[in-house]
Every structure is written in structure tokens, then in C-alpha cells.
Structure 1
Amino acid sequence: MARPYRSVLYIPAANTRAMEKARTLPADAIIFDLEDAVAPAEKLHARELLARALLADYGGRARIVRINGLETEWGEADARAFARDADGVLIPKVSRGASLDRAAALIPTTPLWAMLETPEGMLKAAEIAAHPRLTGMVMGTNDLAKDLHARFRPDRAPLVAGLGLCLLAARAHGRIIVDGVYNAFQDQAGLRAECEQGRDMGFDGKTLIHPDQLDIANEVFAPSEAEIELARRQIAAFDQARAQGLGVAVLDGRIVENLHAETARATLAMAEAIARSAS
């Protein structure tokens, strides 16, 4: 992963002030939303506003455009409008791998991202993740919960099966994957708990609906100082063991194998990527 995706903030493409403010926010990535956040009567105007906004400098923040579905009257024009100027184009409600073929034809070079938000999408996650043009996956947990007729639970138990299938697919095919939104944007404790759950499951970061959620997501999905120090010590111990002709090392009473050293190197690489993005 060349850049971090700890915090991925949705911004309505019809809101000029919000798009301008996003240039100063500590978000790793921004999803400029032309779909759910824009009323039908404002779709064309929002497209024009976003085209102008993307001419501005957003620093190291990844600029991802969520277009309207290609089956809608706006989708194809959205795709053509942002096929070059964005860092990624996010296709909503992707339910099978073939759903990305039309987008790939309309958007020949810009990385494609897929919203996974339907039961069929969960069941076809591996097929979707295998698409050769796909870069990243975004969980749409609100739509998924609606389709499942699921009730809200702080532990998200009704959604865990779907989240897990998508994570397995993303990791099997080397894709970025970010968790769904937390709706109660004033509930900092609840947000932290859900971020920690997503981090522990293996997500790269979390989609967010309000700037006040950025600090917690950035903190939770970043390696802590203790984790960075441990990673350095694990690498040093393993390298020393290898130099001595040994296959494993022992550190603090625990075995350190090659898999632990690889994880430690990934931790340091993430810390370095975060440091670069902040500079």
C-alpha cells in the first residue's frame, strides 16, 4: 500500500464549502460523493462543481469520486467526466465481477474502486476482488444492514459474516479495503470501539461522515509507538538469528519467525507512509 487509508471522508459533491475545507483536513482520502449525498435535481450541477474542485491542490490526500450507478441516467456521464482527474473512481453497489467491466471500458486508466453493500456483493466478493482493474473496496454497511433486515448492535454481529468475506477477498487479491461508516458522529466512544473492531479484523481504515471523526480513525488505524518499537526489535532479533544460522529468534519469551518479521516490516512501512503523508 503506497499510501495510508486510515481515514476516508465522504464529502457531498454539491457542497462547495465542504470540498474546499477538505483540502485542510487530516484525511488520508476523500470520497467526493455524487450518488447518495446529492439530490436528483442537483446531480448535473454537482458534477460541474466537482470538476472545478478537483483542479485545486488536495496535497497527499487520495481523491476518489463516487459516481452514480451506471444504470442511472447520470452514471455514464459521471464516469467520463472523472476518468482522468481523480485518483480513483468508486462504483456503487457492485454485486459481481462483471459489474466492473462497463466501468473499466469507460474509465481506461484511473483506478477503480467498488462499493460492497449488497448481499450478492458479499457472496461474490472474491469474484469482484479478482477483477484486474480493481484497486480498492469500500464497505457499505448501511445498505447491507438494510438488505439483511438487521438490527443495530454495537458489536455489528449481523454484519460480521459479510465483512469477513470481503476482507478475505481483498487480502487474497491484494486490494485495499476500508470499513463502513459509523453514523452517530457525535459518539466518540462508539466510533473508537468500531474503529478498533475494524482494525483488529484487518481493515486498512474507515469511511467517515464528519470531520470530527478523523482524529480517532487516524489514531486507531496507525501503529502505536509501542507497536513500532516492538516491530523494530522483532526485526533486529530475527536478523540476528538468521546471521547465526537460526530459523527463529526468541524475544521477550516469544518465538519470532519469518511471518512475524514480515508483519513487523509492514508495520514500519505503514508508519513511514503515514509520516510521509503528514509532511
Structure 2
Amino acid sequence: MTQTARPFRSVLYIPGSKERALEKAKTLPVDAIIFDLEDAVAVEEKVNARDTLAAALAAGGYGNRMRIVRINGLDTQWGEADAKAAAAMDCDAVLLPKVESAAQVDALAALVGDKPIWAMMETPRGMINAPQIAAHPQMQGFVMGTNDLAKELNTRFRADRLPMMAGLGLCLLAAKAEGIVIVDGVYNAFKDDEGLKAECDQGRDMGFDGKTLIHPAQVEIANAAFAPSEAEIDLARRQIAAFEEAEASGQGVAVVDGKIVENLHVATATATLAKAEAIAAMQVG
């Protein structure tokens, strides 16, 4: 499954120190897991968490789920050892918190070799420098840290997230320019299904590939919001068929549902079908 087609609808944080949670994650219908050595792990457990997580990943059982390990920052006492441990783990990427420059990514790359790197984007400086961070040759994904960003901005909570739109937009533009994955921040009220759905829909409309989650109860809503709907799949098929028919008859454009269909619409339709196929493959795997 290619990086572009691979779905990232649901990206669940799991504490790297909790064996029960690590085991349960194998049964959840998530597209990716962030195995956390940072915020979700108490100070006294941080060293042991590396071994616990390494053993869980070595045992396998996570199927097609993308396995991302979030380490502590390299400016902490645990960061360098976390990075070296993660480099040896059976994971797909290493996630660095509070990334603010390409130099920080270089420092991690020196510790993890050719292991793909993801970046937590959660500070104003990180947003401003998003283009250079996204352009780093080992960078494969952005994860929005909206709780930290809200704290740094000193914003009030708003359902429309208007105070964070500039930062979210900068990171989206940088990620899309470089063709890397970008997933939206968490929704804290894990029992508020209506609020979660609204924020997932907003994120999908903005162009995010999926949403980070803090609780298994949020998975179903995120999976539905970031997957192509039956109507979108049907429209994509009809657009492709109509365009191919128009081309065969020597016409440059086609019309579907009263709207012009051109090359760019066909490209979007093809991507929609590829995403639907990749999601179906995840469910089988």
C-alpha cells in the first residue's frame, strides 16, 4: 500500500507503558497507532516504557495499521535514548514532538538512520517554519498538536476553531506542497459524539487525511468522516466513465449531474476510488 493511498482516517494514541492498552490496540479498527513515550507516560515509567513497547511491537499482531512511535523531545533527558530505541523497534515511523525547525529533524535523523520521521506541529514557531520542516527528505507526516497550540496562542475554546485556522492552514499548505500526510489534532470531549463529528467533518473539508484520537470510542466517527461516502464513490465512477466516453468521441470535456468534468476532476475521482480500495484492503488485512 503506497503512502498516498494508505488511509489515515483514525490515528489513535496508545501509552507505550501500558501492556493491556498495547494488546487491545491490535483489535481496534484504526488506520494508524501512535505508540506514545511522551505525554501519556509518567516520568517514573519512561525508561521501562521503551522495553515494554519494543516487546509489544516485536510480538506483532498490528496487521496493516501504521505503527508510529512518539518519543520525548531531544531536549529532554529521555529523548536521545528514546530515539535510539525507536530506531531498533519494529515500527514504521518515529514522531518527534514540538518540531520547530528542519535542524531538529536533522538531529533526529542522525539518531534513527533512514527510519521515516513524522513531526508534531504544535507551536507558533513550528507553524511559521512548516514549509522547511515538511520539505525535509525524511519527513513523511505532520500531526497537529492542537491542545499545545491553543495553550501557546492563549485562545478560548471555539467549536469553529477560528483562532487556530491560521496555524492549521499553514501546516496544511506545507504538507500538501510536499505530498506528505497530515492528520488533525485530538478532540478532547471523547463522549461528545456530535462535537467530534462536526470537528472531523471540518477537518476533512479542510483537507486533513484523518484525525488523531484519544479514545477507542472515537474511532467509528473518524473512520466514517474521512472515508469517501457511497455518494462520492458513485460520483467518481460516473465522472471517470463520462470523461472516457467523451474522449473516445473526440470531446475534451464531459458533463455529469449538470457539471463540467475535466482532467482535474478525473484525477480527484481516481484518488477517491484508490482511497476506497485502500480502506477496503485495511478491513480485510
- Smaller-chain TM-score bracket: over 0.9
Question: Which deviates more, 168-177 or 247-256?
Answer: 247-256
Which SS does the other structure have where 2:87 is aligned? coil
Match for 1:164: what amino acid? G
Report the Cα distance in structure 1 between the residues aligned to 2:94 and 2:167, rounded to whole angstroms: 23
Cα RMSD (Å): 0.7
Match for 2:265: what amino acid? H
Find 1:23's aligned residue among 22, 26, 45: 26
Cα deviation for residue 244 of structure 1 reads 1.8
Report the Cα distance in structure 2 between the residues aligned to 1:187 and 1:66, rounded to whole angstroms: 26
Structure-2 residue corresponding to 1:50: 53
Find 1:264's aligned residue among 246, 264, 269: 269
Aligned 8 A contact 2:145 2:186 in 1: yes
Find 1:226's aligned residue among 227, 231, 244: 231
Report the Cα distance in structure 2 between the residues aligned to 1:2 and 1:240, rounded to whole angstroms: 26
Report the Cα distance in structure 2 between the residues aligned to 1:277 and 1:82, rounded to whole angstroms: 25
Between the two proteins, what is the percent identity of the paired residues? 68
Report the Cα distance in structure 2 between the residues aligned to 1:13 and 1:236, rounded to whole angstroms: 47
Long gaps (5+) in structure 2: none
Cα deviation for residue 250 of structure 1 reads 0.9
Find 1:98's aligned residue among 81, 96, 103: 103
Cα deviation for residue 179 of structure 1 reads 0.1
Match for 1:59: what amino acid? G
Mapping of residues 72-83 of structure 1, within 5 Å: 72-83=76-87
Provide, for residues 22-80 of structure 1, a one-character-per-residue CA deviation record: whole Å limited to 9, x for no partner. 00000100001000111111100111110111012200111100000011111111111
Cα deviation for residue 83 of structure 1 reads 0.9
Report the Cα distance in structure 2 between the residues aligned to 1:275 and 1:148, rounded to whole angstroms: 40
Aligned 8 A contact 2:124 2:152 in 1: yes
Match for 1:181: what amino acid? V
Aligned 8 A contact 2:5 2:274 in 1: no
Report the Cα distance in structure 2 between the residues aligned to 1:88 and 1:19, rounded to whole angstroms: 17
Mapping of residues 181-192 of structure 1, within 5 Å: 181-192=186-197
Structure-2 residue corresponding to 1:171: 176
Report the Cα distance in structure 2 between the residues aligned to 1:87 and 1:57, rounded to whole angstroms: 14
* Equivalent residue pairs, number: 279
Does 1:68 find its partner at 2:72? yes
Report the Cα distance in structure 1 between the residues aligned to 2:129 and 2:279, rounded to whole angstroms: 32
- Deviation above 6 Å: which 4+ runs of structure 1? none
Cα deviation for residue 107 of structure 1 reads 1.0
Structure-2 residue corresponding to 1:108: 113
Provide, for residues 170-206 of structure 1, a one-character-per-residue CA deviation record: whole Å limited to 9, x for no partner. 0000000000000000000000000000000000000
Long gaps (5+) in structure 1: none
Does 1:14 find its partner at 2:34? no
Does 1:145 find its partner at 2:150? yes
Report the Cα distance in structure 2 between the residues aligned to 1:184 and 1:200, rounded to whole angstroms: 21
Query: Normalization by structure 2: what TM-score?
Result: 0.97
Report the Cα distance in structure 2 between the residues aligned to 1:231 and 1:202, rounded to whole angstroms: 18
Cα deviation for residue 2 of structure 1 reads 3.7
Query: Normalization by structure 1: what TM-score?
Result: 0.99
Report the Cα distance in structure 2 between the residues aligned to 1:58 and 1:4, rounded to whole angstroms: 15
Report the Cα distance in structure 1 between the residues aligned to 2:176 and 2:82, rounded to whole angstroms: 29
